[in-house]
Chains A and B, each alone.
Chain A
Amino acid sequence: MNRPARFVVAALVAVAAVLIGFTGLDGTDPADAAREEFVYYPLVTNGFEYRRVPYPEEVTTIQLLAEEPVAFDARRSVVAFWPITREYLADFAKLDESVPGVAEVIDEHGVVTAFEPQPYTLWYPRGLSGEPQLVTGNEAQQTYDTYVEEGRAAFEADRQYQMAVARLQEQIDEWLALAADGVEPLPDPPGELTEPAPEPYVAYAAEPALAPIVQLPAGSYTLRWRGDDGQIVAGSERELAVSGATRSGVAYTIIPYDRWTQPIFTFDPNESIYLAEDQDVFLAPLPVSRYSAFVYTRLLDPQTIDAPDRNATLWVPDETDPDLTGNSVQVTSKGEVVDKVAWLGYRVFQEPNATRGYYIEEFEADGALRPDFNAMRLPLDRSVTEVGLIGADGHAVANSSRDVRRVPAIPRGALYLPALAFIGLAISLRFFLPRRHHMRQDSQTV
């Protein structure tokens, strides 16, 4: 075998050896036995929901969102490695012993801040399907008390309404019986209820509890737990990685007229919207923030294997259903404002036997009906080059602008013209260049 070939074979063998070696490295010993440990069991958030997540001693880093309050709870429990999900799990059913104490946070400069337990409650103003708020301090008890009071009042109102409905139903039954008996003259049927049905009370507040509430700006910290005996609890030290959004902006849900149930989203302010020449669209703005994907996926699931790439990012809405009344989309054409489109409701009307099957119109309030979606309709003007959100205060919202371009209908082959031009030049150089041709002729006579 000659030298280059030997080199190639040696390189391949070396690579194979490295790969085989690495596949043997796993980093975790699934045979770890269960043991009693100190476990943090905080109520953490990803900005939308709160969840209790256990942090056994093997999970050394706790990812938190900047400026979001987190209720820290400490327990002793039995922890074992669960190979099915490759996680260290705390078996609270076996052992669930509360460890009272104070959370101490040490910042980069070594400054220690103690967080004493205080009352807190999770408050869902728009119901359990909505976004919760962690209410702390005296306000926690007040919120809970108000919730209980309002809940009772709503229950009572609803009970009264149900009783009124029942009474009316009785009256109707009586009248129907009279009608069936052929009573003459038949009295007037009972009228409808005048009072409207009370709005269902969906808000919810959890019963207040006590825990240190930690709320920190972005940075790296160390967390530890100081027990009631004044000593630092063994196994309580953790790294706190507090991260904020790396960028904020406005995303748009782009609702095509002819495919209104299949919207497309644009999150990144650097994105442009390319539309077919006659495409009609609606834009529904949504405030968003960008986070590290690695960090964000570990806020509620610290032991996940997802999103290993630390450079990847993701955009997250700041709220799911914003009220943009008073906002408008400013439409620009070559730097000049041509239109401002208000945020309106739209309804979809079915149109049997039509090509599309439906048409979309501005929503007009009619009793209990609601719009199918709220958005801003982009004018069909082909000269439109940019859209941007204008807030209710009349100022442009940062990172909300998007370039808009209409893509013409071009034959697909046209995109290969530049390539063909250079291929043609190459062929000319190779076969048809006069000087070379002359030389080749000359060479035949030498």
Chain B
Amino acid sequence: MLQARGLTKRYGDLLAVDDVSFTVEPGEIMGFLGPNGAGKTTTILMLLGILKPDQGSATVCGEKVGPAHKETRRLIGAVSEHSFLYPEMTVVDYLSFFAGIYRVGQPEKRIDEVLEELMLVKRRNHLAGSLSKGLQQKLSLARALLHEPPVLILDEPVSGLDPHGMREVREIIIQQRNRGKSILLSSHALSEIERFADRVGIIRDGRLLVEATPAELQAQTAGVLKLEVELDRPGEPFEGAVRKIPGVVAVEHDQGRMSITIDGSNRAQARQSVSRTLTGAGATILGLREVKGSLEDAFVTLTQAGTSPEGQAP
């Protein structure tokens, strides 16, 4: 289990992380989302024990995490956004080195298992620096899995991978989850998170805005309505009028198709407002339908400035 309690970190006047608390249970994948500069990386570094929090604490399987508790890091397998490798080492040498660091029992056997799992067997004697970015990322994941830690902290684990590789890695992550590991997964690939994360936490300006399952999140953002409107002409001239409708948070158009995101609980009123506005502006509505809110929608809504989790302006 991975637990963060009231993690807070300041850099001078900047409050980078503000009282962040969450728990990742064994056998659970928690997605960790936030815009750039929200405090994700700082939170992860505190969870890894590389940064000391100004307040709060983190534990892994009940053991304290911090710069003074380096042994706890044996319980964590971490992959960062950038695959930092020793380019002059071969794949197997790299894994052997870390097997030594983590005191992995029967290292040769374990390395073979991991290479098999991550489909890197054919690359075992290749220099790490000669691998593609995607393969380097897989190698980093192999390193993180080598010592079979109960907790995995993965920052962009599928970065640089092709769809085939992404699926492979996703399956591995799910497999690890099924083996009872607690997995914290930070990614910009929201569709991926949506597909296999058990819970999602969204951080903005250092604060954890919400921690919920994807379904709960979508339910929380049920007030977010997305209308797909088909017009008889390009929707660009009508964008300005539609944006003025109260509750409209986003308008996209593509030729005759217009996609309108409305943050509001009164769907019927919202539909009527859109129809009235468009027809009043001279457009002919050929079709109008509601689209189910996605995680991306929830993310965009929650992380936009001036928006609260309850869908109300602060």
- A-side residues, CB < 8 A to B, are 439-440, 442-443, 446
Contacts and interface: CB of A to CB of B under 8 A. Distances in A.
* Dominant secondary structure at the A interface: helix
B125 A446 contact: no
Contacts of A443: 126-127, 129-130
B131 A446 contact: yes
B132 A439 contact: no
20 contacts: A439-B90, A439-B125, A439-B126, A439-B127, A439-B130, A440-B130, A442-B125, A442-B126, A442-B127, A442-B130, A443-B126, A443-B127, A443-B129, A443-B130, A446-B123, A446-B126, A446-B130, A446-B131, A446-B132, A446-B135
Interface range, B side: 10 to 19
A341 to B, nearest CB: 65
A35 B129 CA distance: 83
Interface string B148-179: 00000000000000000000000000000000
* Dominant secondary structure at the B interface: mixed
Contacts of B90: 439
A356 B126 CA distance: 73
Contacts of A442: 125-127, 130
A442 B123 CA distance: 9
Contacts of B130: 439-440, 442-443, 446
Interface of B: 90, 123, 125-127, 129-132, 135
A442 B127 CA distance: 9
A443 B125 CA distance: 11
Contacts of B131: 446
Contacts of A446: 123, 126, 130-132, 135
Q: Which 10 A-B pairs have the closest CB atoms?
A: A443-B130, A439-B127, A446-B130, A442-B126, A446-B131, A443-B127, A446-B132, A446-B126, A442-B130, A439-B126
Nearest to A444: B130
Contacts of B135: 446
A399 to B, nearest CB: 56
A430 to B, nearest CB: 12
A446 B90 CA distance: 14
Contacts of B126: 439, 442-443, 446
A442 to B, nearest CB: 5
B128 to A, nearest CB: 10
Nearest to A443: B130
Nearest to B130: A443
A446 B136 CA distance: 12
A443 B128 CA distance: 9
A439 B126 CA distance: 6
A308 to B, nearest CB: 51
Nearest to A442: B126
Contacts of A440: 130
A439 B127 CA distance: 6
A443 to B, nearest CB: 3
A415 B175 CA distance: 65
A161 B131 CA distance: 111
A23 B126 CA distance: 63
A442 B132 CA distance: 12
A90 B125 CA distance: 87
A443 B129 CA distance: 8
Contacts of B129: 443
A443 B135 CA distance: 13
A22 to B, nearest CB: 42
B165 to A, nearest CB: 14
Contacts of A439: 90, 125-127, 130
Given A439-B126, A446-B126, 6 more contacts: A439-B125, A439-B127, A439-B130, A442-B125, A446-B123, A446-B135
A219 B85 CA distance: 67
A439 B123 CA distance: 11
A442 B125 CA distance: 9
Nearest to A436: B127
